[in-house]
A and B are shown apart, each in its own frame.
Chain A
Amino acid sequence: MGAVQGRTLKDLLQIDGLSVRYGPALALADLNLTVRAGELFVLLGGSGSGKTTLLRAIAGFVRPTAGRIALDGTDMAPLPPYRRPVNTMFQSYALFPHMNVGANVGFGLAQRGMSRQEIDARVAEMLALVRLQGLESRRPAQLSGGQQQRVALARSLAPNPSLLLLDEPLSALDRGLRTETRTELMRLNRQLGMAFILVTHDQQEALTMADRVGLMRDGCLAQVGTPAEMYERPTSRFVAEFLGAANILPGTVQPDGLSFALPTLGATGVASVAGVPGPGFLAVRPERIRLDAAMLAPAPNRLSGVVVGRSYAGETMEWTVRLADGTLVRSIQTLDDGLTAATILPDAAVTLSWQPDASILLKE
């Protein structure tokens, strides 16, 4: 059981010790994951991280070398794809070119031996759900990319699977449509109460859409958590750097377990943390670092440096600041008070500071 955004959800998919080997290469290495009923779970990762392999293993297209994939307590490993109560929306949409939209959406229903009347009604309902009413007799080739995407979605939703797998569903859409479709998918997930597992390489997409995110690396899950947990409390440098920008500084947690020394910055380089003494890394998000034109007195969570560059991005401005030891630190400021902050020019001596809770302590 788990609580996601106020909803209490029971476990739906249970993956234990899943390994997939392609020849000598290990695509998935002893992976464990639980997905809850009704949640929108995003599998995030770079190319070759194994996220698509995991999706295909759940759908049944990849035979696991070891491990268990249980849906509602039933092991699906011995079942072929056509016996699994799981549907996939393919990245290429894979619409049947020789069938019209109605036949495409109704395909899964026809396989279940539903009557023509039931199929017609369900197809119309599904097309209304994705806002393509009345397009039953069109061919996929006669539709725009966005419409094809929605037909593919309607087709995978039509058999009412308990789990919908979406393989990079937005990657073929242009920017404006992608943002709109994100919202659309989130609405459908809520409205239908169906669990979605969505694969993407886009961290922004993952943070925006997910109830929970699983970040994959080398066939393993590097971290699983809500977008906020993943962003605010990453457990490794890899997670911190994959999800948004991060300034990462090496150092040591002092014996008191309350401060972090940055040895290359001398005695003044100290941040307040809470952790086990020993070597580690300090990560601070650029938007949490405040920039002051004045030289402030040394204090914990305060570093001085020289501006070496800045770039303007409309609502924000990003500065690059070189510390005394040569490390470059990035700071992003919202330009909510007009261009006041923009008066800090390159070569200016500045003070960087952040709230104690902005310090993220990483062991690896």
Chain B
Amino acid sequence: MRFGRTLVLAVPWVWLVLFVMAPIVIVGAIALARPTEGIPPYLLGFSPDNLTLVLTDPLYRDALLLSLWVAGISTTACLLIGYPMALAIARSPETWRDTLLLAAMLPFWTGFLMRINAWIGLLADDGWINAALTWIGVGPLTLLYSNTAMYVGITYTYLPFMVLPLYAQLSRLDPTLLEAASDLGALPWRVFLRVTLPLSMPGIAAGCALVFIPTVGEYIIPELLGGPGAALIGRVLWGEFFSNRDWPTAAAVAVCLLVVLLVVPAAISWLVARGPGARAPDTGGARAPDTDGAGAPANPGRASPAPGRE
């Protein structure tokens, strides 16, 4: 019994140690190593030079800031397109939902590179989109190898990662709450802003994290669709690793990226935890005076901090 328990718990632990801890330790060790000629191209040691270089050289800083910017734009685009999609699927008749969800995930059935290549075909100077633009007299435009193409590619690729958690959240939303809001006189857009949107915040946070984090380090899409100017952190990392064969610097970039990517989701989850609850929604009743003491939770153990009090 006790042995079986240990065995079951051991599986995730072994997994975490082997495939999460070990690579991080190795990358960390290489980041502190010295570059050298040879195989492997580093000498282990405790040199802060690589990290210092990455933190001070504007090349890396700019690449990271650009990556965060691109990831931010792409995440916003995914949210703006994905939210209505998820809402439409969640509100569609029960018999349709699985089909629509399947349709949203259908691109996964094809290889990722094939789909990106398809976009190259669509966006090329003599591609279908330009053919259509020429036909209506707007084009041809230079679409491929531009920021536009990169954003289109990233948004297209990561959209399902936004739709799925949003759908999961929205389909759990109790429809009676929407009826209650409507019954109390809220116009449809007020029902959305006051009830649907705040109650879907966990889904929004999950979707944004799932899109934002991999997008920051994205290499293939900017490489295949983006212009040469899009010096994103993923491309810089690739260049250090494969073109310059400077493993220690590449590892230092990877460590910095990892730290940034740990901070962002932590910030998001902190914001969600404080999120809609921390704001006093709608009425002044939310900011009840605490002078009579009755406003204080009777069971502080269970109570989350009362709103408007911090």
Question: In chain B, what residue has the closest Cβ to A99?
Answer: B281
A94 touches B283 (CB 8 A): no
**Are A81 and B179 in contact (CB-based, < 8 A)?**
yes
| CB–CB B179/A102 < 8 A | no
**Is residue B111 contacting chain A, with contact meaning CB distance below 8 A?**
no
Tally of A-B residue pairs with Cβ under 8 A? 139
Residue B121 at the A interface, CB < 8 A? no
Whether the pair B182, A81 counts as a contact (CB closer than 8 A) is yes
Q: Is the CB of B302 within 8 A of A142?
A: yes
Report B271 CB to chain A, min CB distance, Å.
15
Q: Which of A106, A133, A134, A142 contacts B284 (CB 8 A)?
A: A106
Pick from B2-10, B30-38, B48-56, B285-293 the stretch touching chain A.
B285-293
Given contacts A97-B199, A99-B282, A142-B299, whether A134 and B294 have CB atoms under 8 Å apart is yes
Q: Which of A69-77, A82-90, A224-232, A274-282 sits within the interface?
A: A82-90
Residues on the B chain within 8 Å of A95, using CB: 180
Within 8 A of B (CB), among A62-113: 80-83, 86-88, 90, 92, 94-103, 105-112
**In the complex, A323 has a CB within 8 A of chain B:** no
Instruction: For the complex, count residues of B whose C-beta is within 8 A of A.
Output: 42
A269 CB to nearest B CB, Å: 54
Residues of chain A within 8 A of B274, CB atoms compared: none
B185 touches A112 (CB 8 A): yes
Task: Kindly state the interface size class of chain A when it binds its partner.
Answer: 35 or more
C-alpha spacing A156/B179, complex, angstroms: 12
- Is A139 at the interface (CB under 8 A from chain B)? yes
Q: Residues of B contacting A286 with CB < 8 Å?
A: none
Closest Cβ–Cβ distance, residue B183 to chain A (whole Å) = 5
* Chain B residues with CB below 8 A from A13, complex form: none
**B198 engages A107 (CB within 8 Å):** no
| Complex contact A111–B277 (CB within 8 A) | no
Contacts of B187 in A (CB 8 A): 82, 111
CA distance A46 to B308 in the complex (A): 46
Interface pair B283/A137, CB less than 8 Å apart: no
Distance of A116 Cα from B308 Cα, bound (Å): 15
The reply on B310 being an interface residue by CB < 8 A is no
Which residues of A are found within 8 Å of B288, using beta-carbon distances? Answer: 100, 102, 120, 134, 136-137
Partner of A94, one of B177, B188, B276, B282: B177
For the complex with contacts A103-B283, A107-B283, 5 further pairs of A-B residues with Cβ separation under 8 Å are: A87-B183, A96-B194, A102-B285, A102-B287, A116-B284
16 A-B residue contacts at CB 8 Å? A83-B185, A94-B176, A94-B177, A96-B177, A96-B180, A100-B286, A102-B286, A102-B287, A105-B285, A106-B282, A111-B187, A124-B285, A134-B295, A136-B288, A137-B306, A137-B307
